[in-house]
Amino acid sequence: MRLSLLFMVCCTVMAQCAVAAAKARHFRWEVSNMFWSPDCEEKVLIGINGQFPGPTIRAKAGDTIVVELKNGLHTEGVVIHWHGIRQIGTPWADGTASISQCAINPEETFTYRFVVDKPGTYFYHGHYGMQRAAGLYGSLIVDVADGEEEPFKYDGELNLLLSDWYHESIYTQMVGLSSNPFRWIGEPQSLLINGRGQFNCSLAAAHTAGAKQCAAGGGNRQCAPVVLPVLPNKTYRLRVASTTSLASLNLAVGNHKLTVVEADGNHVEPFDVDDIDIYSGQSYSVLLKADQKAASYWISVGVRARLPKTVPALAILSYGGNAAAPLQLPAGEPPVTPAWNDTQRSKDFTYRIKARKDTNQPPPPAADRQIVLLNTQNLMDGHYKWSINNVSLSLPATPYLGAIHHGLQDSAFDASGEPPDGFPEDYDVMRPPANNATTASDRVFRLRHGSVVDVVLQNANMLKEEVSETHPWHLHGHDFWVLGYGDGRYDAAKHAAALNTADPPLRNTAVIFPHGWTVLRFVANNTGAWAFHCHIEPHLHMGMGVVFIEGEDKMHELDVPKEAMACGLVARTAAVPLTPATPLPPSPAPAP
C-alpha cells in the first residue's frame, strides 16, 4: 500500500514537472509577396516577415506554439499547415483550407495555437492553392523535452530544407493544369537548399563540361552557396526535409557516409548509406561523422524518379567550423545522383527503413476496415485529372470540420454516401484505363473513432502506355505504420501474410512506386477532418486526394474558434444548432 502511494506521488510530481517545463512559444508573422532571388534570378515569391524561407520554429516536445498570422497578400487567402504535427485536440489548427479551416482573408489575422507533442524534424507550408510552390514554407524543429534524451549521440546539428523553384508564377501553372488542352509548365528551373540555388551556372563548373562558373565568392547574398561548418572528428545530426512542389530528390555528401536514424519524426533502426532518397513531404535525420581530411566537400542534391531537366543543387561541407570564413570550393567532383529511373535502388533504400528496436511501437494486429485507393490519371470534359477510384477530389466552400461541428453537413457537401473504397477486380494496373472518364466529388470517408484502418495505395498506369509516376502520400493528423510495398496489383490472398507487423516504421508520408502498391495502417483516434493526398503540388491541385472524417459524432463537442469557420454556410447561418451527427454503425470484427 505504501509503495503504491509512493508510486502515485512520484507520478504526480513528474507530471507536474513536465507541465511546468513546457513553454508557450509566441510568434507574430505577416505573410506577403516580395521580390527575391532564390537562384540569382529575381522573381516574386511569398515570404514571412520579409524572409525566405520563413522563420525557423524551434521548440521542445510538449511546448505550445502560438503563431499570430496576418495575411498581407493583397488578393487571396492563406493558411499554413504544420506538416507532421498531429494536432491532437486542435484539428482546426491543421491549416488546410476547406477541410480544417477557412482561408484567412487579406488583411485579417488568425492565431494558430497547438502543442508539438513529440520531437522530430518537421516543416510548415502553405496549403491554399499552390502557395507552397510560391515559397511559403519554413523549418519546424522539435527537440526532446527537458530531462529526455535521443537514443543516439551527436556533437552538433545542421539543418537542410530542400525545395524546387519555378520562374513562372503559380498562377501560370494552375491555369495550365486546368486548361483544355492541357498545358504543362515543365520541370523546375532550379533546386534550392535552405532557399538558395544557382540558375544557369554551376559552382562545380570545373567538373562540368560547358558549364558557366557561378560567382560564388560574392554578389547576391540571397543565392549565396550554403556552407555547413563542421569540426574534425565530431558527429553531426543532419536534419533534412523536402518541401518540393514536384521533384523527388537524392542527397549525398562527398566522401562521407550517412547513418539514417529518424524518418518523419520517428526513430528508425540505424543503417549506413552513401546517399538518401527523399520524396516531397518526407524528413530524415542522418548522422555524419567529420572523419575525413580537413577540407571542403560537396553536398549534392539531384532529381530522382523523373528525367532530370533541373541541374543538381550544391552546398558545401566545410571543415573548420566557421561559416563566415572565405568560401573554399571543394577540389573534387560532386557526388553523382543515381540514375533517375533506377527504381530498384530507391526501393532498396526505402525497404531498409524499420522502426528502431528500443523504441518500436508495433501496430494493432488487425484492421477493422480496409480502404483501397487506386491512383489513376483520367479526363473530365477534356481536362486532365488525377483520380482516386475514378473520383477526383473537389473541396467545398464550407470546411468539413465547421460544417459537421455545426450540423450543416447535409447542406455543405455531399454527405449522402462515401467515395468508392475499392476498384473493379478486372482493372489492369499495368495499362492505361479502359474508361478514362472521371467524375469530381466532395464526399468523404467516415471512420469510426478508435477504429484501425488499413489503406492500400495502388499505383497504376497513366493515360500514356507504360508510364506510371512515383507518388508520395501524406496523411494529416496522424502517423501511420508502413506495413509493406510491392509490385503490380495488391492481392490480399497473396500479399497480406508477408506484411510487416513486427517492426514497420511510423511515418506521415509514404511513397508508392510506379506500377506498385503500399499498405499503411493507422488508428482513427483523432477527432477531426483530415486530408490524405499526394504531396506533389500539381497532383493535389488536379484532385489526387481524399478526406477522412474521424469521430463525426464527437465533433460538436470541439471548442472550434469561430474565426476558423467564418465562411461558407457557417457564416451565412444566423443561429446554428450544435447538434451531434448521426453515429456511424459499428465496424465489423477483425478477420481472424
> Is the pLDDT higher at 229 or at 7?
229
414: left (phi over 0), alpha (psi -120 to 50) or beta: beta
Residue 47 lies in a domain: yes
Residue 588 lies in a domain: no
Q: Residue range 515-533: average pLDDT?
A: 98
In the listed set 315, 330, 355, which residue is the last one of a domain according to the structure?
355
CA distance 511 to 474: 9
Angle at 300 between CA 297 and CA 303, to 5 degrees: 170
Which of 44-53, 321-330, 350-359 shows the lowest per-residue confidence on average (mean pLDDT)? Answer: 321-330
User: What b/e sequence results for 50-76 when a residue is b if at least 16 CB atoms lie within 10 Å of its CB, and e otherwise?
Assistant: eebbbbebebbbbbebebebbbbbeeb
- CA neighbor of 581 nearest in space, from 418, 404, 413, 451: 404
Bridge partners of 518, per DSSP, are 457, 485
Confidence of residue 590 (pLDDT cuts 50, 70, 90): very low
* Number of independent structural domains in the chain: 3
Q: Which domain holds residue 254?
A: 156-355
Note whether 138 and 52 are same-domain residues: yes
Confidence of residue 218 (pLDDT cuts 50, 70, 90): low
Q: Are 135 and 38 in contact (CB under 8 A)?
A: yes
107: left (phi over 0), alpha (psi -120 to 50) or beta: left
Positions of E strands within 194-327: 227-230, 235-242, 248-253, 258-263, 266-273, 275-278, 283-289, 296-304, 313-319
Q: Residue range 364-379: average pLDDT?
A: 97
Residue 9 lies in a domain: no
**Residue pLDDT, tens place only, 183-207:** 999 999 999 999 999 999 889 888 7
Note whether 274 and 309 are same-domain residues: yes
Q: Edge-to-edge, what's the strand order for the sheet holding 80-83?
A: 57-60, 137-143, 120-126, 80-83
Confidence of residue 217 (pLDDT cuts 50, 70, 90): low
Note whether 316 and 429 are same-domain residues: no
**How high is the pLDDT of residue 583?**
47
- Distance (Å) of CA 134 to CA 69, 190, 474, 549: 18, 13, 20, 29
Positions of E strands within 101-214: 109-115, 120-126, 137-143, 156-165, 190-193
Q: Which residue has the cell 533504400?
A: 349
Q: Residue range 168-185: average pLDDT?
A: 96
Which of 38-52, 206-220, 498-512 shows the lowest per-residue confidence on average (mean pLDDT)? Answer: 206-220
CATH at residue 527:
2.60.40.420
Note whether 368 and 490 are same-domain residues: yes
Mean predicted lDDT score pLDDT of the chain: 92
Residue 2 lies in a domain: no
Please give the share of the chain, as a percent, with pLDDT higher than 70: 92
CA distance 30 to 11: 42
CA distance 88 to 66: 15
Q: Are 515 and 488 in contact (CB under 8 A)?
A: yes
Note whether 491 and 546 are same-domain residues: yes
Note whether 219 and 332 are same-domain residues: yes
Q: Is the pLDDT of residue 435 over 90?
A: no
Residue 577 lies in a domain: no
- Distance (Å) of CA 461 to CA 143, 432, 479, 586: 42, 5, 28, 36
Note whether 228 and 130 are same-domain residues: no
**Residue pLDDT, tens place only, 481-505:** 999 999 999 999 999 999 999 999 9
**How high is the pLDDT of residue 577?**
42
**Residue pLDDT, tens place only, 63-112:** 999 999 999 999 999 999 999 999 999 999 999 999 999 999 999 999 99
Note whether 437 and 525 are same-domain residues: yes
Note whether 133 and 186 are same-domain residues: no
CA distance 571 to 412: 12
Note whether 369 and 474 are same-domain residues: yes
**Residue pLDDT, tens place only, 401-434:** 999 999 999 999 999 999 999 999 999 999 999 8
Q: Is the pLDDT of residue 575 over 50?
A: no
DSSP letters for 359-410: G--PPPSS-SEEEEEEEEEEEETTEEEEEETTEEE---SS-HHHHHHTT-HH
**How high is the pLDDT of residue 12?**
42
Residue 578 lies in a domain: no
**How high is the pLDDT of residue 211?**
79
Q: Residue range 566-582: average pLDDT?
A: 62
Residue 227 lies in a domain: yes
**How high is the pLDDT of residue 327?**
81
- Residues 6 or more apart whose CB falls under 8 angstroms from that of 351 comprise 485
Note whether 344 and 204 are same-domain residues: yes
Note whether 330 and 456 are same-domain residues: no
Which of 128-142, 153-167, 313-327 shows the lowest per-residue confidence on average (mean pLDDT)? Answer: 313-327
With H, G, I as helix, E, B as strand and everything else as coil, classify residue 507: strand
With H, G, I as helix, E, B as strand and everything else as coil, classify residue 569: helix
Q: Residue range 451-477: average pLDDT?
A: 97
**How high is the pLDDT of residue 209?**
73
- Distance (Å) of CA 229 to CA 226, 254, 257, 424: 10, 14, 17, 55
In the listed set 330, 355, 380, which residue is the last one of a domain according to the structure?
355
Q: Residue range 323-333: average pLDDT?
A: 83
- Distance (Å) of CA 200 to CA 37, 209, 228, 313, 314: 13, 13, 23, 12, 13
Q: Are 383 and 412 in contact (CB under 8 A)?
A: no
**How high is the pLDDT of residue 40?**
95
Please give the share of the chain, as a percent, with pLDDT higher than 90: 86
**How high is the pLDDT of residue 229?**
96
**How high is the pLDDT of residue 207?**
77
In the listed set 355, 374, 391, which residue is the last one of a domain according to the structure?
355
Residue 498 lies in a domain: yes
Q: Is the pLDDT of residue 21 over 90?
A: no
**Residue pLDDT, tens place only, 264-302:** 999 999 999 999 999 999 999 999 999 999 999 999 999
**pTM score, two decimals?**
0.93
Q: Residue range 535-563: average pLDDT?
A: 95
